[in-house]
Amino acid sequence: MKDASLTLSSGLRLCYAEFGDPQGVPTFYFHGWPCSRLHAWTMHEAALKQSIRLICPDRPGLGLSDDHPERQLLDWPPVIEELAHHLGWEKFHIIGVSGGGPYALVCGAPPIGELGTQDLFWIYRLLIRLRKVSTIALGLVLGFGAELASKRQHDFPLRNLVGLLSPSDQASLQNPGHFNTMALSFRHAVRNGTRGLITDADIYLNPWNFRFSDITIPVRFWHGKQDRNIAWTYAEKIANQIPNAITHWFDDEGHYSLPVNQAPNIFAQVLAAHPTDAFPSWLNAQVG
């Protein structure tokens, strides 16, 4: 992994990390929530083997990137345009995983304000209710969660929380490398406080201000049917609205297992697709 940063035209600092093959095919990776640029470690080995150069930026207010209060989803494309220009990329691929899905225009995480919370993991539903009651309380809970993430995976209460996940996710997180990547990514996301993480979460609740039916380029959905964090049916509802959506549903994969186990297949599909060269048509692959 190699860290770097860019000062945007707005004056804000954007930090990003590089994984995979430094000479490989240009690909952006948009990390999940609550995560940071370190999330892309989960796909490093697969990217290296398949000659993918994977760039994962910290979103504003997360990790080492400067905060951008009250930002909206559609503030993101100009940031990525600047980063692509900085990297010398005219064409590139995009993968959005979990909470990074909306930043690839569509869903890992769904537009909750539109589709509702009924098929979310109960912890997410609890955090949403808390957000409506008290930002301060939510910040304290997220900070406490980051402290828990410093514990070993078999310690109480982490082992109990992992036990609530699907069998495939429990098996995936038994791998110390995968578990430690997720935990470290979370801790880095809140290293400068929880405000940026809350702003990031608000985007899932607010209107996205575009219509899925207007997306005309091919969009691939990869989602595990064992996903208890974000039900695959969310992705199905959105895919049905996109004219050229291609779906891949996996009976035996969950939320955390799918990006790791299916990374070779995901990258193969990325390499087979035509990279984008302009916004707003900026998605080639998406992971649930």
Nearest to 254 by CA among 219, 288, 204, 220: 288
Q: Indicate the residue type of 146.
A: A
Q: Are 18 and 53 in contact, with CB atoms under 8 Å apart?
A: yes
Task: List, for residues 219-273, the tens digit of each pLDDT value.
Answer: 889 999 999 999 999 999 999 999 989 999 999 999 999 999 999 999 998 888 7
pLDDT for 7: 98
Tell me: cis bond preceding 22? Omega within 30 of 0 counts: no
CB contact set of 60 (below 8 Å; sequence gap of 6+): 12, 14, 66, 67, 68, 71, 79, 196, 199
Q: What is the pLDDT of residue 108?
A: 60
pLDDT at res. 276: 55
Domain membership of residue 180 as a residue range: 2-287
State both tokens at 19.
């994984």
Which amino acid is residue 95, in one-letter code?
I
Q: What is the pLDDT of residue 174?
A: 93
Note whether 101 and 200 are within 8 A (CB). Answer: no
CB 61 within 8 A of CB 196: yes
Give the strand pairing for 285-287 and 245-250.
unpaired
Mind listing the pLDDT tens digit of every residue in the chain (288 residues)?
Answer: 999 999 999 999 999 999 999 999 999 999 999 999 999 999 999 999 999 999 999 999 999 999 998 899 999 999 999 999 999 998 899 999 999 988 886 546 778 888 889 989 999 999 999 999 999 999 999 999 999 999 988 888 889 999 999 999 999 999 999 999 999 999 999 999 999 999 999 999 998 888 889 888 778 899 999 999 999 999 999 999 999 899 999 999 999 999 999 999 999 988 887 665 443 333 444 555
Beta-bridged to residue 100, according to DSSP, are none
Pairing of the two strands 93-97 and 25-30: parallel
Number of domains into which the chain is organized: 1
- Between the alpha carbon of residue 266 and those of residues 223, 247, 253, the distances in Å are 11, 12, 14
Token pair of 97 as six digits: 């995983």
End-to-end CA distance of the chain: 24
Question: What's the per-residue H, E or C state across the chain?
Answer: CEEEEEECCCCCEEEEEEEECCCCEEEEEECCCCCCHHHHHHHHHHHHHCCEEEEEECCCCCCCCCCCCCCCHHHHHHHHHHHHHHHCCCCEEEEEEHHHHHHHCCCCCCCHHHHCCCCECHHHHHHHHHHHHCHHHHHHHHHHHHHHCCCCCCCCCHHHHHCCCCHHHHHHHCCHHHHHHHHHHHHHHCCCCCHHHHHHHHHHHCCCCCCHHHCCCCEEEEEECCCCCECHHHHHHHHCCCCCEEEEEECCCCCCHHHHHCHHHHHHHHHHCCCECCCCCCCCEEEC
Write the CATH number for 6: 3.40.50.1820
